[in-house]
C-alpha cells in the first residue's frame, strides 16, 4: 500500500505519494489561491492528489489513506479544521469536502506534529521509542511521537510546546499569556534581542549586514555574527541557547523521550547550535548520573511535511 | 492472579496484596529501620510480604509480580535503586536482593508515579485514556499514565514535574536550578510566601494560629486563613492558584492528557483549591474553543502507594 501526504502551506500545497517506509515515490506542488473558498481549495487539493496518482504507477486501490498537515489545529474525530491562520480557515469540514472528490480515510494534524512524525519514520529519530520534535521558526511548534505513534493528546490540543510558559510574568505573547517559550526560543526572539542591543552597539557587524536598517535584521544574520565573534551576535546567541536548553530540559524532566529533534529555520545554524545546546542542557536535567534524551537536528527538510502527513494513517 | 505492592516510606513500609482490579485484599505495615543495611532492609521487606501472603488465602503461585514505590529513582532495566534520599540508599540492587527471598518479577518506580497509576487503575482517573498526577507536598512530584500504562520515560527519569522550570531565573531550587515549578507549587512555597508577608501583617489570623512563631506556619494554616478571608491567606492562596494553574496549563498545552489529578498534602484543601484552579487554568490553555483536561482531586489517599506499586507489573 501507499499513502498520500498533503502539506498545506501559506503559499502552496505539496502532495506526495509515500511508501510504507516513508519514502516519497512521486510528488508535486500547486499554489494556494487564498481568494478561493475553503470548499474550492480543498476540492482542488483532492483533484491534484488524484492527478498525481494517475501519473504514477499506483491506482486508488493502492492508497491506504490520505494525511494532511496544516499550520493550525484540527479535530481528529470530526475531520474538521478548527482553524488555520494562514488560509483564514475557521471550522472548515476538511475531511468531508475532501472525501467528496477522493474517498479514502483522511487524517489531519498540525504541521509540526507531522514533521516530527516524518523524522520518527524516515528521519533522524527513525526507530526511536519516543521523540519530541521542536520547530524553531517564527514561532515554536512541537510534535510528539510515542512508541511509534503520533501523540497529539486526548483532545487533540497537545504538543503546543511554544505556548508552554517558561518565564511566568515574562514577555507578552501573541496568545495573550506572558512568558511563553516561543517568546524566548523562536527566530523572532533572536531578532527581538538583537534589535534591543543594536542601537547601543552601532559597531556590531549585524549593522553592516542589515544595511543599518533594523527592520531587516533576521535570525541568520545574528547567528552568523555570533560565529565570527561579534559581541552582539554572541550575547544574543548565548542567551538563546540558555533559554532553549531550559525548554529542552523541561521536556526531558517531564516526558523523558529517547530523542529530541530540532527543526525549523533556526536549526539551519547546524552544529554551531547543536553543540552549544548539547553542552547546556545537562545543567538543567534533574538526575546528573542518568542518561537523558539524545539531541539531534532534523534531516528531512522540506520533504518532512509530505512524508509525515502521509504516515499519519499508518501511525495512529 | 494477585499482585504484591510495597510502599516504601521514610518511617515505614506498607505491603498489600492487590487483585486484578486494583483492590487491596490484604495489607500490613512494618517499620523502616534506618540503621539496617539496605540488604537487611530489603530482605526484611520480602520476608514481610511472604508472611502477609501466608496469612492470606493466596499462595506464591497466585502472585503475578511484586511492585515497589520508592521516594527516589530506580533503573527499571537493572532493578537498581539509583537513589532514595529518605533511606540514604545509593545504587542499591533492590531487585536482586529482594528476589533472593521472594523470586517473582519485581518492578520499581517513583512514589508519585505509583500513586498516579493507582488513581488510573482504581481511583479518580480510572478508565481514562491518559492522566497526569501531581503531588503537591513538601516538593512536587508527578506520575504519567498513557493508554493505561505507566510512562516514566525512555531513560526512566520522566514525570519530574516539580523540576520543570516555570520561571526562568526565578527562586533558587534545592536541585541547583532556578525557577523550578516546585518552588511555586509546593506546600513549601505556600509557607515561604506567608512567612514573607507576615512580619508586615501582624494582624493576620495566621499569626494567632502559629502562636506568633513563624517557624510553625504550615500550608494548612495559610489555606484555612484564606477560607475565612484573612488578607495574607487570600493573597498567598491567590498567588499559589496562579502559579499552579500555569503549571497545569503547561501540561495541557504540551501533553494534553484526559485527566489531571491533584494529590499530596495541599490537595487536602479540597473543593476550595479545586474550584479556584478549575477557574484559572482555562486562561492559559492555548485553544479557547477546544476542550482540555478534566482536573480532579486524588481519592485513594494512603492506599495509593500499595495499589499503584502492585499494579506496576500489570501496567508496563
Write the DSSP string, chain A: -EEEEEEE-SSEEEEEEE-TTS-EEEEEEEE--TTS-HHHHHHHHHHHHHHHHHTSS--GGGEEEEEEEESEEEETTTTEEEEEGGGTEEEE-HHHHHHHHS-S-EEEEEHHHHHHHHHHHHSTTTT-SEEEEEEESSSEEEEEEETTEEE--SSS----GGGSBSBTT-SB-TTS-BSBTHHHHSHHHHHHHHHHHGGG-TTSHHHHHTTT-GGG--HHHHHHHHHTT-HHHHHHHHHHHHHHHHHHHHHHHHT--SEEEEESGGGGGTHHHHHHHHHHGGGG-S-TTS---EEEE---GGGHHHHHHHHTTT--
B173 touches chain A (CB under 8 A): no
Return the residue matching grid coordinates 477522493: A102
Local structure of B200: helix, strand or coil:
helix
Report A:231-250 residues touching B (Cβ under 8 A).
243, 246, 249-250
Least CB–CB distance from B154: residue in A130, A283, A285: A130
Judge whether B108 and B150 are in contact, CB under 8 Å.
Answer: no
Report B:202-231 residues touching A (Cβ under 8 A).
none
Predicted confidence band at A285 (pLDDT cuts at 50, 70, 90)?
A: very high
B171 touches chain A (CB under 8 A): no
Least CB–CB distance from A160: residue in B153, B168, B253: B253
Q: Which residues of B touch A163 (CB under 8 A)?
A: 253, 286
Burial of B183 (0-12, 13-18, 19+ CB in 10 A): buried
Predicted confidence band at A11 (pLDDT cuts at 50, 70, 90)?
A: confident
pLDDT of residue A27: 97
Q: Is A82's CB within 8 Å of B287's CB?
A: yes
pLDDT of residue B73: 87
The residue-averaged pLDDT of B80-92 equals: 88
The residue-averaged pLDDT of A88-105 equals: 96
A252 touches chain B (CB under 8 A): yes
The dihedrals phi and psi of B73, each to the nearest 5 degrees, come to -135, 140
Least CB–CB distance from A284: residue in B157, B165, B287: B165
The residue-averaged pLDDT of A15-28 equals: 97
Q: Which residues of A touch B142 (CB under 8 A)?
A: 254
Write the DSSP string, B214-272: GGG--HHHHHHHHHTT-HHHHHHHHHHHHHHHHHHHHHHHHT--SEEEEESGGGGGTHH
Q: b/e per residue, B141-152, with b = 16+ CB within 10 A?
A: bbbbbbebebbb
Each residue's pLDDT tens digit, B142-160: 999 999 999 999 999 999 9
Predicted confidence band at B83 (pLDDT cuts at 50, 70, 90)?
A: confident
Do the bridges between strand B2-8 and strand A149-151 make them parallel or antiparallel, or are there none, so unpaired?
unpaired
Do the bridges between strand B12-18 and strand B24-31 make them parallel or antiparallel, or are there none, so unpaired?
antiparallel
d(CA B15, CA A309): 49
A113 touches chain B (CB under 8 A): no
pLDDT of residue B33: 86
Q: Which residues of A touch B283 (CB under 8 A)?
A: 177
Report A:72-91 residues touching B (Cβ under 8 A).
73, 75, 82
- How large is the greatest C-alpha to C-alpha distance in chain A, in angstroms? 64
pLDDT at B88 exceeding the cut of 90: no
Count Cβ–Cβ pairs < 8 Å, chain A vs chain B: 154
pLDDT at A32 exceeding the cut of 90: no
pLDDT at B282 exceeding the cut of 80: yes
Give A271's contacts (C-beta < 8 A, 6+ positions apart). Answer: none
Least CB–CB distance from B155: residue in A144, A179, A256: A256
- Report the chain B residue with the minimal C-alpha distance to residue A177: B284
d(CA A85, CA A20): 31
The residue-averaged pLDDT of A116-131 equals: 98
Predicted confidence band at A76 (pLDDT cuts at 50, 70, 90)?
A: confident
* Kind and range of the H or E run holding B309: helix B304-311
Local structure of B145: helix, strand or coil:
strand
pLDDT of residue B77: 87
The residue-averaged pLDDT of B282-288 equals: 94
The residue-averaged pLDDT of A192-209 equals: 98
- Report the chain B residue with the minimal C-alpha distance to residue A242: B168
Predicted confidence band at A313 (pLDDT cuts at 50, 70, 90)?
A: very high
A253 touches chain B (CB under 8 A): yes
Predicted confidence band at A168 (pLDDT cuts at 50, 70, 90)?
A: very high
Each residue's pLDDT tens digit, B188-236: 999 999 999 999 999 999 999 999 999 999 999 999 999 999 999 999 9
Cα A104 from chain centroid? Answer: 26
The residue-averaged pLDDT of B294-308 equals: 97
Q: Is A82's CB within 8 Å of B290's CB?
A: yes
Predicted confidence band at A88 (pLDDT cuts at 50, 70, 90)?
A: confident
Length of chain B, in residues: 316
pLDDT of residue B161: 97
Burial of A218 (0-12, 13-18, 19+ CB in 10 A): middle
Q: Is B144's CB within 8 Å of A179's CB?
A: no
d(CA A13, CA A69): 10
* Kind and range of the H or E run holding B2: strand B2-8
Mean pLDDT, all residues of chain A: 96
Contacts within 8 Å (CB) and 24+ apart, B196-204: B197/B232, B197/B235, B197/B236, B198/B232, B201/B231, B201/B232, B204/B230, B204/B231, B204/B232, B204/B233
pLDDT of residue B32: 86
Least CB–CB distance from B82: residue in A169, A253, A290: A290
Do the bridges between strand B72-75 and strand B80-84 make them parallel or antiparallel, or are there none, so unpaired?
antiparallel
* Nearest CA-CA partner of B235 in B200, B275, B193: B193
Return the residue matching grid coordinates 512536587: B140
d(CA A280, CA A286): 13
Predicted confidence band at A289 (pLDDT cuts at 50, 70, 90)?
A: confident
pLDDT of residue B85: 76
Question: Would you state the torsion angle of the CA atoms of residues B197, B203, B205, B210, taken in this order, to the nearest 10 degrees?
Answer: 70
Least CB–CB distance from A163: residue in B146, B152, B253: B253
Do the bridges between strand B2-8 and strand B63-70 make them parallel or antiparallel, or are there none, so unpaired?
parallel
CA angle, residues A49, A51, A57, in degrees to nearest 5: 95
pLDDT at A6 exceeding the cut of 80: yes
Q: Is B82's CB within 8 Å of A289's CB?
A: yes
pLDDT of residue A73: 87
Do the bridges between strand A24-31 and strand A12-18 make them parallel or antiparallel, or are there none, so unpaired?
antiparallel
pLDDT of residue B311: 98
pLDDT of residue A10: 75
Judge whether B106 and B99 are in contact, CB under 8 Å.
Answer: yes
Each residue's pLDDT tens digit, A37-68: 999 999 999 999 999 999 999 999 999 999 99
pLDDT of residue A47: 97
B307 touches chain A (CB under 8 A): no
d(CA A249, CA A269): 20
The residue-averaged pLDDT of A172-186 equals: 97
> Whole-model pTM?
0.96
Judge whether A209 and A224 are in contact, CB under 8 Å.
Answer: yes
ipTM attached to this prediction:
0.95
Each residue's pLDDT tens digit, B236-276: 999 999 999 999 999 999 999 999 999 999 999 999 999 99
Least CB–CB distance from B154: residue in A144, A257, A283: A257
Amino acid at each position: 500500500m501507499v499513502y498520500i501526504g498533503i502539506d498545506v502551506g501559506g503559499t502552496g500545497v505539496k502532495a506526495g505519494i509515500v511508501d510504507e517506509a516513508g519514502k516519497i515515490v512521486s510528488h508535486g506542488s500547486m499554489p494556494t489561491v487564498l481568494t478561493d473558498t475553503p470548499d474550492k481549495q480543498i476540492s482542488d487539493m483532492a483533484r491534484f492528489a488524484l492527478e498525481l496518482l494517475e501519473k504514477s504507477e499506483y491506482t486508488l486501490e493502492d492508497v491506504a489513506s490520505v494525511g494532511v498537515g496544516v499550520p493550525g489545529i484540527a479535530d481528529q474525530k470530526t475531520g474538521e479544521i478548527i482553524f488555520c491562520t494562514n488560509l483564514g480557515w475557521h471550522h472548515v469540514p476538511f475531511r468531508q469536502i475532501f472525501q467528496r472528490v477522493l474517498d479514502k480515510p483522511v487524517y489531519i494534524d498540525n504541521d509540526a506534529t507531522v514533521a516530527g512524525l516524518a523524522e520518527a519514520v524516515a528521519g533522524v529519530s527513525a526507530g526511536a521509542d519516543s521523540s519530541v520534535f521542536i520547530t524553531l521558526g517564527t514561532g515554536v511548534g512541537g510534535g510528539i511521537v510515542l512508541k511509534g505513534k503520533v501523540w497529539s493528546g486526548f483532545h487533540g490540543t497537545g504538543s503546543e510546546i511554544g505556548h508552554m510558559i517558561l518565564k511566568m510574568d515574562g514577555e507578552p505573547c501573541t496568545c495573550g499569556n506572558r512568558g511563553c517559550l516561543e517568546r524566548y526560543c523562536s527566530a523572532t526572539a533572536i531578532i527581538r534581542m538583537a534589535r534591543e542591543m543594536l542601537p547601543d552597539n552601532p559597531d556590531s557587524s549585524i549593522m553592516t549586514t542589515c544595511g543599518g536598517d533594523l527592520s531587516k535584521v533576521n535570525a541568520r544574520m545574528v547567528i552568523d555574527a555570533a560565529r565570527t565573534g561579534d559581541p552582539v551576535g554572541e550575547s544574543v546567541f548565548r542567551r538563546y541557547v540558555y533559554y532553549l536548553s531550559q525548554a529542552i530540559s523541561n521536556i526531558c524532566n517531564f516526558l523523558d523521550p529517547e530523542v529530541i529533534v530540532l527543526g525549523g529555520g533556526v536549526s539551519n545554524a547546524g552544529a554551531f547550535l547543536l553543540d552549544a545546546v548539547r553542552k547546556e542542557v545537562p545543567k538543567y536535567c534533574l538526575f546528573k548520573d542518568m542518561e537523558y534524551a539524545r539531541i539531534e537536528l532534523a534531516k528531512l527538510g522540506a520533504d518532512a511535511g509530505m512524508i509525515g502527513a502521509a504516515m499519519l494513517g499508518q501511525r495512529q
